Amino acid sequence: MSMDAVFKALADPTRRALLDALRARNGQTLSELSERPDMTRQAVTKHLGILESANLVVTQKRGREKLHYLNPVPINDIAERWIDKFEQGPLDALSHLKRKLEKEGR
């Protein structure tokens, strides 16, 4: 459960896309996550395994189904390590401004 595992897991666009999919809708099955034109079920299984061992995805059984949940806690641990409490406010404001401007610029 090292920080290295988190950075390695995040250093791949496919795995980030899977986290985005769970952020959009939490608690999906493997079949639901495999409904992507760009990825085989085997590839999704492999990537989910890497995300799980980095603790970025956690699974829970519901009946016969295994549901996948986004676990942002390790990312929060990383952020807290380098972001001081006095920087949080200004950083939130900057990030809000960036999102707003980028939306308007589209």
Partner 1 sequence: MSDRFVYVTYIRTTPETLWDHLTKPEFIRVYWFGVSAESDWKQGSSWKLIFADGRVADTGEILEVDRPRRLVIKWRNEFKPELKAEGYSRATFVLEPSDDVVKLTVTHEIDRTGSKFIEAVSGGWPSVLSSLKSLIETGQALPSQKKAA
CB of 15 to partner 1, least distance (A): 17
How far is 87 from 8, CA to CA, in rounded Å? 26
How far is 81 from 75, CA to CA, in rounded Å? 10
To which residue do tokens 């390590």 refer? 81
Token output for 19:
């986290």
Give 23 or 98: the residue with its C-beta nearer to partner 1: 23
Query: Under rule CB under 8 A, which residues in 45-84 are in contact with partner 1?
Result: 55, 58, 60, 69-77, 80, 84
Q: Which residues in this chain contact partner 1 in the complex, by CB under 8 A?
A: 1, 26-27, 55, 58, 60, 69-77, 80, 84-85, 88-89
